[in-house]
């Protein structure tokens, strides 16, 4: 992934985190405690200065209310065809099926970690 793509993705994720924190009335300190990171690190994520690792994206998603930990909405991937009512039903279903989805999250996490490793291998390393 090119540097500009990484910066754009970090900015998208940061803006979505910021919007959700405002909606929930929560702070960077609160999110930091939820995802077990330093407040300054959360500030970097929110301001789009750092791209969170995949496992942290899942924690952020769960902390901000997505029971399954899906990171699609953080990445700016729309869910086509879902009305507000259908989205609420889906969220209630997610909350009711958290135990079932735990094993699904593990397989999703594995796939995301593999994707992250592939992306990292494409980042050019500076010459010594």
Q: How far apart are the first and last CA of the chain?
A: 21
Q: What is the pLDDT of residues 78-105, one digit of tens each?
A: 666 556 665 566 565 555 554 454 556 6
Q: What is the pLDDT of residues 61-78, one digit of tens each?
A: 889 887 555 777 777 776
What is the per-residue pLDDT for 102?
53
Q: What is the pLDDT of residues 26-51, one digit of tens each?
A: 999 999 999 999 999 999 999 999 98
The answer to whether domain 3-122 has CATH 1.10.260.40 is yes
Domain boundaries, the chain: 3-122
Q: What is the DSSP string of the chain?
A: --HHHHHHHHHHHHHHHHHHHHHHT--HHHHHHHHT--HHHHHHHHTTSSPPPHHHHHHHHHHTT-TT---HHHHT---TT--HHHHHHHHHHHHHTHHHHHHHHHHHHHHHHHHHHHHHHHSPPPP-
What is the per-residue pLDDT for 5?
80
What pTM did the predictor assign?
A: 0.58
Which among 57, 62, 58 is positioned nearest to 9, based on CA atoms?
Answer: 57
């Amino acid at each position: 992934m090119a540097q500009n793509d990484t910066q754009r993705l970090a900015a998208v994720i940061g803006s979505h985190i910021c919007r959700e924190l405002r909606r929930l009335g929560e702070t960077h300190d609160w999110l930091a405690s939820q995802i077990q990171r330093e407040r300054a690190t959360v500030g970097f994520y929110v301001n789009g200065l750092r791209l969170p690792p995949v496992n942290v994206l899942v924690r952020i998603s769960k902390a901000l209310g997505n029971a399954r930990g899906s990171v699609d909405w953080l990445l700016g991937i729309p869910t086509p065809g879902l009305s507000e009512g259908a989205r609420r039903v889906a969220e209630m279903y997610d909350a009711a099926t958290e135990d079932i989805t735990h094993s699904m999250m593990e397989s999703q996490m594995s796939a995301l970690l593999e994707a992250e490793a592939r992306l990292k291998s494409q980042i050019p390393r500076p010459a010594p």
